[in-house]
Amino acid sequence: MILLISMCSDKLHELEFVKPIENVVGKCLVRHYKNFTLKDIEKADKVIISGTSLKDDFFLKELERFNWIRDYAKPVLGICAGMQIISLIFRGKLRKKKEIGYYRENFVKEFLSLKDEHEVYHLHNNYVSLPKDFIKFTDSKIPQAIKHNSKNIYGVLFHPEVRNSKLIEEFLNLV
Protein backbone atom coordinates (compact mmCIF):
# COMPACT_ATOMS: atom_id res chain seq x y z
CA MET A 1 0.00 0.00 0.00
CA ILE A 2 1.22 3.49 -0.90
CA LEU A 3 0.76 6.31 1.60
CA LEU A 4 0.29 9.66 -0.14
CA ILE A 5 0.73 12.60 2.25
CA SER A 6 -1.02 15.85 1.29
CA MET A 7 0.88 19.04 2.15
CA CYS A 8 -1.98 21.37 1.17
CA SER A 9 -3.37 23.77 3.77
CA ASP A 10 -6.47 24.33 1.63
CA LYS A 11 -8.66 21.39 0.59
CA LEU A 12 -9.24 22.93 -2.86
CA HIS A 13 -5.51 22.76 -3.58
CA GLU A 14 -5.57 18.98 -3.09
CA LEU A 15 -7.32 18.69 -6.47
CA GLU A 16 -4.29 20.38 -8.01
CA PHE A 17 -1.37 18.92 -6.06
CA VAL A 18 -2.54 15.57 -4.65
CA LYS A 19 -5.21 14.21 -7.03
CA PRO A 20 -2.88 14.23 -10.08
CA ILE A 21 -0.37 12.08 -8.12
CA GLU A 22 -3.20 9.80 -6.97
CA ASN A 23 -4.23 9.38 -10.63
CA VAL A 24 -0.76 8.02 -11.42
CA VAL A 25 -0.46 5.87 -8.29
CA GLY A 26 -3.94 4.33 -8.37
CA LYS A 27 -5.32 2.87 -5.18
CA CYS A 28 -3.52 4.40 -2.20
CA LEU A 29 -4.07 5.81 1.27
CA VAL A 30 -4.26 9.62 1.16
CA ARG A 31 -3.68 11.45 4.44
CA HIS A 32 -3.19 15.10 5.27
CA TYR A 33 0.14 15.86 6.94
CA LYS A 34 -1.66 16.86 10.11
CA ASN A 35 -3.62 13.62 10.23
CA PHE A 36 -1.38 10.70 9.40
CA THR A 37 -0.32 8.34 12.17
CA LEU A 38 2.83 6.33 12.82
CA LYS A 39 0.71 3.26 12.15
CA ASP A 40 -0.06 4.58 8.62
CA ILE A 41 3.68 4.95 8.02
CA GLU A 42 4.51 1.51 9.38
CA LYS A 43 1.80 -0.12 7.26
CA ALA A 44 2.86 1.63 4.04
CA ASP A 45 5.18 -0.02 1.52
CA LYS A 46 6.21 3.36 0.13
CA VAL A 47 5.48 6.99 0.98
CA ILE A 48 4.97 9.95 -1.36
CA ILE A 49 4.88 13.49 0.06
CA SER A 50 3.08 15.99 -2.21
CA GLY A 51 3.77 19.59 -3.08
CA THR A 52 1.47 22.52 -2.46
CA SER A 53 0.75 26.03 -3.73
CA LEU A 54 3.32 28.79 -4.09
CA LYS A 55 1.96 30.78 -1.15
CA ASP A 56 1.45 27.79 1.13
CA ASP A 57 4.51 27.32 3.34
CA PHE A 58 2.74 26.52 6.63
CA PHE A 59 4.39 23.10 6.62
CA LEU A 60 7.74 24.73 7.41
CA LYS A 61 6.49 25.35 10.94
CA GLU A 62 5.60 21.70 11.49
CA LEU A 63 8.68 19.84 10.38
CA GLU A 64 8.74 17.75 13.55
CA ARG A 65 5.86 15.73 12.07
CA PHE A 66 8.41 14.29 9.64
CA ASN A 67 11.23 13.28 11.99
CA TRP A 68 10.36 9.62 11.26
CA ILE A 69 11.92 9.97 7.77
CA ARG A 70 15.41 9.93 9.32
CA ASP A 71 15.01 6.30 10.44
CA TYR A 72 12.59 5.09 7.78
CA ALA A 73 13.83 2.09 5.81
CA LYS A 74 11.19 1.98 3.04
CA PRO A 75 11.17 4.14 -0.12
CA VAL A 76 10.07 7.78 0.18
CA LEU A 77 9.53 10.29 -2.63
CA GLY A 78 9.21 13.99 -1.78
CA ILE A 79 7.76 16.30 -4.42
CA CYS A 80 8.53 20.06 -4.19
CA ALA A 81 7.40 20.83 -0.60
CA GLY A 82 7.97 17.13 0.08
CA MET A 83 11.57 17.39 -1.12
CA GLN A 84 12.12 20.50 1.00
CA ILE A 85 10.88 18.60 4.05
CA ILE A 86 13.20 15.64 3.40
CA SER A 87 16.20 17.93 2.91
CA LEU A 88 15.39 19.98 6.03
CA ILE A 89 14.98 16.83 8.13
CA PHE A 90 18.46 15.83 7.00
CA ARG A 91 19.72 19.30 7.98
CA GLY A 92 19.88 21.08 4.64
CA LYS A 93 19.42 24.87 4.69
CA LEU A 94 16.31 26.64 3.35
CA ARG A 95 17.14 29.18 0.62
CA LYS A 96 15.08 31.54 -1.57
CA LYS A 97 14.67 30.73 -5.24
CA LYS A 98 11.51 31.33 -7.23
CA GLU A 99 10.89 29.20 -10.31
CA ILE A 100 7.52 29.03 -12.08
CA GLY A 101 6.82 27.06 -15.27
CA TYR A 102 8.82 24.84 -17.59
CA TYR A 103 12.60 24.67 -17.18
CA ARG A 104 15.19 22.43 -18.84
CA GLU A 105 17.18 20.34 -16.42
CA ASN A 106 20.13 18.18 -17.36
CA PHE A 107 20.18 14.84 -15.54
CA VAL A 108 23.83 13.79 -15.45
CA LYS A 109 22.89 10.41 -13.99
CA GLU A 110 19.67 8.48 -14.50
CA PHE A 111 17.09 9.45 -11.91
CA LEU A 112 13.92 7.34 -11.73
CA SER A 113 13.82 7.02 -15.54
CA LEU A 114 14.90 10.61 -16.34
CA LYS A 115 18.27 11.10 -17.97
CA ASP A 116 19.94 13.81 -20.10
CA GLU A 117 17.89 16.98 -20.79
CA HIS A 118 14.27 17.16 -19.69
CA GLU A 119 11.65 19.85 -19.42
CA VAL A 120 10.21 19.87 -15.92
CA TYR A 121 7.45 21.95 -14.30
CA HIS A 122 8.51 24.15 -11.41
CA LEU A 123 6.36 25.97 -8.86
CA HIS A 124 8.32 27.00 -5.80
CA ASN A 125 9.66 29.97 -3.84
CA ASN A 126 12.38 28.08 -1.97
CA TYR A 127 14.83 25.24 -2.28
CA VAL A 128 16.98 23.45 0.29
CA SER A 129 20.76 23.02 0.06
CA LEU A 130 21.98 19.46 -0.54
CA PRO A 131 22.13 17.64 2.80
CA LYS A 132 25.10 15.54 3.81
CA ASP A 133 24.59 11.90 2.75
CA PHE A 134 22.58 12.93 -0.36
CA ILE A 135 23.64 13.14 -3.98
CA LYS A 136 22.14 15.34 -6.68
CA PHE A 137 21.39 14.15 -10.19
CA THR A 138 21.23 17.40 -12.19
CA ASP A 139 24.07 19.74 -13.11
CA SER A 140 22.02 22.77 -11.92
CA LYS A 141 23.31 25.03 -9.14
CA ILE A 142 20.42 24.15 -6.88
CA PRO A 143 19.46 20.53 -6.12
CA GLN A 144 16.54 19.58 -8.38
CA ALA A 145 16.61 15.78 -7.96
CA ILE A 146 18.30 14.07 -5.03
CA LYS A 147 18.70 10.65 -3.42
CA HIS A 148 20.06 9.47 -0.12
CA ASN A 149 23.43 7.69 -0.43
CA SER A 150 22.26 4.43 1.04
CA LYS A 151 18.47 4.61 1.43
CA ASN A 152 15.65 4.80 -1.12
CA ILE A 153 14.79 8.37 -0.13
CA TYR A 154 14.22 10.55 -3.19
CA GLY A 155 13.33 14.20 -3.67
CA VAL A 156 12.40 16.33 -6.68
CA LEU A 157 11.93 20.09 -6.55
CA PHE A 158 9.81 20.00 -9.71
CA HIS A 159 6.35 18.44 -10.19
CA PRO A 160 6.66 15.09 -12.00
CA GLU A 161 2.87 14.68 -12.03
CA VAL A 162 2.93 17.33 -14.79
CA ARG A 163 4.10 15.54 -17.96
CA ASN A 164 6.79 13.46 -16.21
CA SER A 165 4.58 10.91 -14.50
CA LYS A 166 6.90 8.05 -15.55
CA LEU A 167 9.18 9.23 -12.72
CA ILE A 168 6.42 8.40 -10.23
CA GLU A 169 5.75 5.08 -11.99
CA GLU A 170 9.45 4.21 -11.73
CA PHE A 171 9.37 5.02 -8.00
CA LEU A 172 6.37 2.71 -7.62
CA ASN A 173 8.34 -0.06 -9.36
CA LEU A 174 11.22 0.10 -6.87
CA VAL A 175 11.68 -3.19 -5.08
Partner 1 sequence: MKLGVLFSGGKDSVYAAYLAKKNKHELSCLISIHSENKGSYMFHTPNISKTKKQSEVMNIPLIIQKTSGEKEIELKDLEEAISKAKLKYKIQGVVTGAIQSVYQSTRIQKICDKLGLECFNPLWQIDEEEYLKMLIKDKFKTILVGVFAYPFDEFWLGKEINSKFLKEIKLFNEKYQIHVAGEGGEFETFVLDCPLFSNSLKIKNKKILKEGENSFRMEVEL
Residues annotated as catalytic (active site), given as ranges: 80, 159, 161
Binding residues for partner 1, rule: CB under 8 A, are 10-13, 15-16, 19-20, 23, 53-56, 98, 100-102, 121, 123, 161-163
In whole angstroms, the minimum distance from the beta carbon of 133 to partner 1 comes to 33
| DSSP conformation letters of 59-82 | GGGGGGGGGGGGG--S-EEEETHH
Q: Measured from the CB atom, is 62 or 102 closer to partner 1?
A: 102
In whole angstroms, the minimum distance from the beta carbon of 163 to partner 1 comes to 8
Q: Measured from the CB atom, is 114 or 146 closer to partner 1?
A: 114
Cα gap 92→79, rounded to integer Å: 16
DSSP β-ladder status, 2-6 and 46-49: parallel
Sequence-distant (6+) residues with CB within 8 A of 89 are 63, 66, 67, 69, 70
Nearest C-alpha neighbor of 153 from the set 139, 135, 169, 140: 135
In this structure, are residues 130 and 103 in contact, taking their beta carbons and an 8 Å threshold? no
In whole angstroms, the minimum distance from the beta carbon of 29 to partner 1 comes to 20
Q: Measured from the CB atom, is 93 or 102 closer to partner 1?
A: 102
